[in-house]
A and B are shown apart, each in its own frame.
Chain A
Amino acid sequence: MMTWLRQNARETIAALALVILFAGYIAIHPRGFSTYVVTIWSNQGTLLGLAAIAQFFVVLVKGIDLSVGSIIALTNVMGSFLLNGSPTSIALGMVVVLTVGVACGLVNGIAVVYGGVQPIVTTLATGGIFGGIALLLRPTPGGSIDETMSDALTYAVAGIPVSAVILVIVLVVLLMLLRRTAVGLGLYAIGSSEQSAYMTGLRVNRLKLVAYGSSGFVAALAGTYVSMVTLTGDPNIAPSYTLNSIAAVVLGGVALSGGVGSPLGAVIGALILKTISSLMFFSGLPPLAQPFFEGLILATAIALGALGVFRVRSRLELYR
């Protein structure tokens, strides 16, 4: 147990911070610890958590995805057209939405892998395209989602929020796949050193496509869950998800240089961010001052996470 904690120091510190923040949030919340409060928190956290996992997959292979919010917006808007009616049509709609997500991820992946374009500029451009399609489909927020399904997925059963269960299942499955399969370990290998991975005989290009496709898939899950929580399709949610997903992976100890971190860390980072903004809401600060403090806390948290640079013995280690 202690070894595990030491090996995963970044996640452990992040998790401790989360526990403290959550305790503060519950203490400050007028309704205290109740199923209602926890369910709302968990639903919001699951949305950002899934977005962070989507970001994680791309960051793992040394990329960055500035289109993740747009994919979420696009799948959310598509969900608002497709996720109602008979059970069969809902199921079909679900398949379509998830396929669109994977397709978006693959477009990014193909441009990066075969087109030789850097991930950051690729996804900047495709983000415009995906966001544009979402805005064309639905210029203003609207549409409808099957309410029975929404209720089943966003309420709590026996005091446990369904969203938390979903998030845990997604996490367990992904952790198993990443740690126990050749594909998962291959992704870590590429992130650590693409050259060595190639020399070992890994199919680097294909594995990268897997990473981008998985990212699109999880982003589509996030988009679908946005539909479930908000019951509308909203094309304007993209920027905040992109921004927060990047902040979340960094807070959760995922290295932007690739190969380091886990989806668990990404989710913890997302929950920290969500808890901070909820704390702000109930903190009694004037509402107009809240965005500033949110930014300030984000910057402080990131800077604290980077304090390790002052323990470096030779400054040469800092330059790569």
Chain B
Amino acid sequence: MTDATERTVTSRWLNRDRVSVLLIALGCVALLLGGSLLYPGFLKPGYILQQLQIAAFLGIIATGAMLVILLGEIDLSVPWTITGTAIVVISASGSSNPLIANLAIPLGLCLGIAVGLLNAIGVAVFRVPAMVWTLAVNAMLLGAAVFYTGNSRPNGEVPWLATLAATGRTFGIPNAFLVWLVVAAITIWVLKRTVYGNYLYALGNSRRAVFLAGARVRLVIVATFVLAGVFSSFGAILLLGYTNQAYQGMGDPYLMPVISAVVIGGTSIQGGRGNYIGTFAGAIFITLLSSILSVMQMPPAAREMIFGAIILVMLLVHGLTNKKEGI
């Protein structure tokens, strides 16, 4: 084997997606090592398992965001889909009618489906840019939530299933993380092995080509936004089980981390490119980063700044390597 062929083999193995994942994995290790210098407990399994549990909430929500981004769109209605779901679930579960109380979690997921459909109508039927439409949907959800709760903290009960899934452990491993692993496995299978997954990547690259090929473009767009809504709601239900309460604006701090996790994981914001392992690692990276910043007792302002700066640096590294490859 000559040097030249060997080099092509290595460069093919080290393709763009793998470089992103490797970079992020290195970032996670660096964060853990750096953190252990400040605070020795960082390398203990207990701490790492706890971080994986918290990363699961972010990761599940980011799964939906990633599907939409692969499509070449974006979903900015995530924050109030989360808050809205938490409010619906907590008040339904606290209802005196046992039927409604038992259906609390399905009702919450239905909200996600409804939001997804609403988003899809604007994007697929009216052709409004997703960025604007989902922002307007977010504003409406906020308004509906404020009206429904009278701008106070909603009362009710957290379903036991949500608490079990979010805080329970099986053989010492957090259930939330196990749930996330299942979600991840299914997502990877769907993206790699199903027609839907192929259409998703194809649509992100060229809508026109996919339309001319006879695919049902609108159906794929609608399905993707509905899935995104369901994942946001699913994550919100776990989050509800973890925080044991619902409050106004509980979803607001999630928008930036969710998009960051997807994008630093190597998914192109223009769509059509990216893999789920990157998003998986991205969610863990973001969780570790914010945990370390809070352990260092940074004021929130400085935390926000450092968070933004590190994400910008990661993006620049991506951007510059892409430029070199001529993508």
Question: Which chain A residues have a beta carbon within 8 Å of chain B's beta carbons?
Answer: 64, 111, 115-118, 120-122, 124-129, 131-136, 139, 235, 243, 246-247, 250, 256-257, 288-296, 298-299, 302-303, 306-307, 309, 315-316, 318-320
- Is B139 touching A309 in the complex (CB atoms < 8 A)? no
Shortest CB distance B143–A (Å)? 3
A121 CA / B211 CA spacing, docked (Å): 28
Shortest CB distance A254–B (Å)? 11
- Asked whether B309 is an interface residue with its Cβ less than 8 Å from the other chain, the reply is yes
Number of interface residues of B (CB under 8 A): 57
* 4 new A-B contacts at CB < 8 Å, known A121-B263, A290-B143, A296-B140: A122-B312, A131-B308, A134-B301, A295-B142
Shortest CB distance A240–B (Å)? 10
Residues from chain A with a CB closer than 8 A to the CB of B141 are 295
Shortest CB distance B61–A (Å)? 16
Residues from chain B with a CB closer than 8 A to the CB of A290 are 143
- Asked whether B7 is an interface residue with its Cβ less than 8 Å from the other chain, the reply is no
B-side interface mostly: helix
- Asked whether B70 is an interface residue with its Cβ less than 8 Å from the other chain, the reply is no
Give the residue name and chain of the B residue nearest to A286 (CB): B147
- Is B323 touching A116 in the complex (CB atoms < 8 A)? yes
Give the residue name and chain of the A residue nearest to B210 (CB): A319
A120 CA / B319 CA spacing, docked (Å): 13
- Is A117 touching B318 in the complex (CB atoms < 8 A)? yes
- Is A136 touching B299 in the complex (CB atoms < 8 A)? yes
- Is B132 touching A247 in the complex (CB atoms < 8 A)? yes
- Is B146 touching A291 in the complex (CB atoms < 8 A)? yes
Find residues 256-300 in chain B having any chain A CB closer than 8 Å to their own CB. Answer: 256, 259-260, 263, 268-270, 299-300
Number of A-B contacts (CB under 8 A): 160
Residues from chain A with a CB closer than 8 A to the CB of B305 are 128-129, 132-133, 136
Out of B126, B127, B132, B212, name the residue touching A316 (CB < 8 Å): B212
Q: Mark B96-139, 1 if CB is under 8 A from A, else 0.
A: 00000000000000000000000000100111110111011111
Question: Which chain B residues have a beta carbon within 8 Å of chain A's beta carbons?
Answer: 74, 122, 125-129, 131-133, 135-144, 146-147, 150-151, 207-208, 210-212, 217, 256, 259-260, 263, 268-270, 299-309, 311-312, 315-316, 318-320, 322-323
Out of A120, A124, A246, name the residue touching B135 (CB < 8 Å): A246
Give the residue name and chain of the A residue nearest to B307 (CB): A128
- Is A125 touching B312 in the complex (CB atoms < 8 A)? yes
- Is B127 touching A306 in the complex (CB atoms < 8 A)? yes
- Is A295 touching B315 in the complex (CB atoms < 8 A)? no
Residues from chain A with a CB closer than 8 A to the CB of B316 are 111, 115-117
Residues from chain B with a CB closer than 8 A to the CB of A318 are 127
Out of A124, A133, A302, name the residue touching B133 (CB < 8 Å): A302
- Is A316 touching B208 in the complex (CB atoms < 8 A)? yes
- Is B301 touching A136 in the complex (CB atoms < 8 A)? yes
- Is A122 touching B208 in the complex (CB atoms < 8 A)? no
Shortest CB distance B179–A (Å)? 28
- Is B269 touching A129 in the complex (CB atoms < 8 A)? no
- Is B312 touching A288 in the complex (CB atoms < 8 A)? no
Out of A139, A294, A306, A316, name the residue touching B139 (CB < 8 Å): A294
Shortest CB distance B309–A (Å)? 6
5 CB contacts below 8 A, A to B, read A131-B308, A132-B301, A139-B301, A306-B127, A320-B207
- Is A292 touching B146 in the complex (CB atoms < 8 A)? yes
